[in-house]
Structure 1
């Protein structure tokens, strides 16, 4: 095993010096080696940007997201670091930490990417723990401890014209502690995309999560009147979800009259609210249930559309 220290290639970990050439030199040396090679990055401050990488692992270390600097850059109108399309990536054993009162601090954001797996991680933020944007397919999330923060969110979808949809997302075995929401799906009004084949299972939204199950299909952008959503949401499963809601409405599905939420499945959902019964609220949402359901199902039986509370 060969270890290459980027300092020996000219990198300076002062947060100001551009160490791109040092990283590239170390990377080229590693790629040309016939022996397994590790690139060692000592403690310091650097921007890390990965592009067109295949077969790499990032193991250990602490990454400072530099959120304050990034948002200052965005507000300035300058060109700032951004994400890339990624495929076949595993994120495992990650701890993300941000204060609960911070804004725009998503823990992990996945967008325009396929076959991403996120496992065995602990995430605390002031925004979404994991946010799932347009163009995401075959995403698997499992064994995540969350709190504080807003929840695991699909969306917001439908913000751009003819935006790619989200398909085949699985969220399994997640614990939410003191969060604003549990799992939620959210979309903008009037523009078109689609969401299909998503399942949430083995959820524990305990210790007073605000609304464990939240599906809101109509979000009105500032300074624009929006009447209906063009986002089609279908084939969503909520399975084996247990916990306590901080509000009496523990399940809320507010969908579009133009494109109602269809084929929503609830199986063994048990949510409580203090010493009173929790309730569910559905608008333009239809589907089926099985097993024990609490709060009482708010769908019309075997219908694609439903109105009213539990």
Structure 2
């Protein structure tokens, strides 16, 4: 039976993941850079976790948040890439309905966790630069653990309505998803019901959860910049600003593709569909791949420890 025939059903047992629409013939070649990015993400993030665990001097709030970011990136990439590569390599397009909803939940939940961690890291930079003498008393190990737990609970609860709402709708048009993975908007489009509540809730999450994280980051950096410009010398200002360089890069590679992808999904009907899908994939793959590289190269303690391991062997 052809994958591309619409069917009449209300509770599909499976969905069909098309992959990248219009580029099906090139899936094998397209999978090569995606596989390489996934391998780099795995090696990089596990390396970060190993270095922080084995180096007692790195047992500080900044590096604990970095470990949280690495774990989040590993889960986010792993929730997408294995199924996508099996589609590209083995034409394994079917995904169980419950598995699709589970994948959807993990993608949105850990994207929200990553956003919260970036906001927490901005808070860490603010305290370290604006209140350096109180940093160790404000951001203690128990407080860092509480922040991490709060971010996990917030994201888990806020994104839970995505699969719950999606499960309610009847699907009587088709079970074909024009994506390489299950994302909320793509699945809801297949429902033959009034799904405006899903759209409104998605906008709520984007503006009042991710938006609050962005506002928190912006406020932290406004205070940081005020503190930097009050320093007496240019060298001191530059040196202090460079301590935020890694975090600023992580913010850029996460929020810009994320915002661009969300806007295209909702308002970019004139964009070619394969472009939309490729941008969405980059949003999920670039942070896990680039974050450990950025922090490994720009953080002297991590870079020196990594060089020590390599030269020792």
Q: TM-score range by the shorter chain?
A: under 0.3
- Choose between structure 1 and 2: higher strand proportion: 1
Q: Which has the higher contact order (CA 8 A, sep 6+)?
A: 2
Q: Whose helix fraction is larger, Structure 1's or Structure 2's?
A: 2
Give the TM-score normalised by the residue count of structure 2: 0.20
Instruction: Please report the TM-score for the alignment, with normalisation by the length of structure 1.
Output: 0.20
